[in-house]
Amino acid sequence: MARARKRGIWRAIRILIGALAVLGAIPLVLTPAYIFIDPVSVPMIERYLTGRPVVRQWRDIDAISDRLKASIILSEDGQFCRHWGIDVGALREELDNVLRGRPARGASTITMQVARNLFLTNHPNHFRKALEIPLALYIDLVMPKKRIMEIYLNIAEWGPEGEFGIEAGARRAFGREPQNLDWRTASLLAVTLPNPLLRNPARPNNGLSRIAGIVEDRARQYGERASCVGENGRLAL
């Protein structure tokens, strides 16, 4: 009886290890493929499986406003063009906050957000954050920065009714093509991203307008920091 129980335990362990190996192989295989294939995100798949609508039309990154790219990078991840997928300084600060019992401020880079949306869940926990780090390093190693940003702009959730990607977000908020954004609309769309279910760029409250103004000022002043995602390495701001 004891031997049978032990064999059952080892069999369960082998099955668990095999399942983890398969799950680990998925991003290893799909990340290189996503250089050429336009992916869907886990939140999109969840909506498809539950019968909820998904609105998304893929847009080439060179057909998206440079002002929006600069606004998003200066808002979400100012070191995007310089780091290797993770912002080590921001992660150290986040870890210090956790150890000291301070509120978490978030240290996700754009690459980490891409990793989460492609391969993980949006439910916040420390285990998910730990998985984002090696995934982001791998994505940054395999993919060009411009492709990472292109995927991000096309899988980010931009509205409460299944709007994914900047095409759907810009049309819903302003009835515009994503290449036809002025500084105001670009910055409002950028600051919507942390909470697209509640923030409405078409009808911003005073707080959202203030944050958008700060992002616009930063992007105007430091927009060259986002040049790695521009056409031929330059942004037309």
pLDDT tens digits along 132-191: 999 999 999 999 999 999 999 999 999 999 999 999 999 999 999 999 999 999 999 999
- What pLDDT, on the 0 to 100 scale, is given for residue 165? 96
Tell me the HSE value of 103 on the side-chain side, using a 13 A CA sphere. 1
Single-letter residue type at 48: Y
Average pLDDT estimate for 11-25 = 54
Least confident of 15-29, 39-53, 91-105, 220-234: 91-105
* pTM for the predicted model, two decimal places: 0.87
**Helices 42-49 and 110-119 sit at what angle, rounded to 10 degrees?**
30
What DSSP string runs through 166-227?
A: HHHHHHHHHS--TTS--HHHHHHHHHHTT-TTT--TTS--HHHHHHHHHHHHHHHHHGGGGG
Is the model's pLDDT at 22 over the cut of 70? no
Sequence-distant (≥ 6) Cβ neighbours of residue 177 within 8 angstroms: 167, 170, 171
CA distance 213 to 111: 25
Report residue 98's pLDDT band, with 50, 70 and 90 as the boundaries. Answer: very low
List, in sequence order, every residue forming a beta bridge with 164; answer none if it has no partner: 157
- What pLDDT, on the 0 to 100 scale, is given for residue 94? 55
| Between 91 and 43, the higher pLDDT residue | 43
Single-letter residue type at 175: G
